Structure 1
Amino acid sequence: MPFNGAHARALRIATGRTIVALAAAAQLAPDTVRAAELGRRQPHNRVVRALAAALGVPVRELQLPMPTDDIPLATVRRSLGLTQREMAARLGRSTQTVSAVERGGRVQLALDWAAAYSLTLPQFRRAHAASRDLVRREAAARTPRRTTHSRGESA
């Protein structure tokens, strides 16, 4: 799920800590904490766990609910802080299979895939469809359009 940097910052300020102090407690670089709080980048799971532990809150308190309408699977995976290789290991599949599914390719055992992406089955199906639609839109944008002349002849 996406990291809620604003909430993490509010918790840090409420505990009276500076970025440097929180970074030290979480054993992270201050720039990493700053970037996570400001939303410059989506922190990896390890960073989120370290911040949650240093702030004394459960990990889910530092996460935003994941909207799933029109969000492709690759975006969901990245929001979990996972690479394709890590997702492949989680699923016991090859990175090529993960890549193909994230481009809208055929899925077997969709429930297993949904669990790996931390989605319900309906959410996974919508995200998978969004992935397929994105690939189709990108392909259509790369394909030159044929122009027609006034008599209906193509150029």
Structure 2
Amino acid sequence: MKQFSLFLFVLLLHSCQYFEKQIPSEKELLQKELKSINWKEVDEFPSVADCEKIAEKKLRQQCFFEKMAQLIQEKLDIDSLAVLYPQLDTIQVKVTVFPNATIKFAPQFPQDSVAYDTIKVDSILQARLIDFPKINPAIKRGVPVKTQFILPVILKEKNTK
């Protein structure tokens, strides 16, 4: 009986450790979860209706980028950028897609570039890059989020003679 009492005492002593463990607070759990999220990647990229039917994530992303570059190129084809700057065959356009599905465009030039009137190029972009089809914003954990990316847009094809 003495052994049983000793066994019961040891069992109770060790089982008390299970009751002493701290339960993390909601704030601690939230901080841990926020740290585990990769904020540099989205679950779903922005998309346009033409690309929605593509199931594979990478192909849908590629479709979106190609469609955006094509739309920007078509809208700039009718303008004078190529006439104003004949040496400019490609322009880098920073595209921002906001959670409310609005879009903002900004030309990107090398920092040492003084050959272009950036204000004039920007105003041409803003005037021409309107009336885009509806763009669905990127999704992160079921929530629409802001995304930014830079698209190379070809203003004129190089002659391959």
TM-score norm. by structure 1 comes to: 0.25
Query: Which one has a bigger Cα radius of gyration?
Result: 2
> Which structure has more helix as a fraction of its residues?
1
> Which structure has more strand as a fraction of its residues?
2
TM-score norm. by structure 2 comes to: 0.24
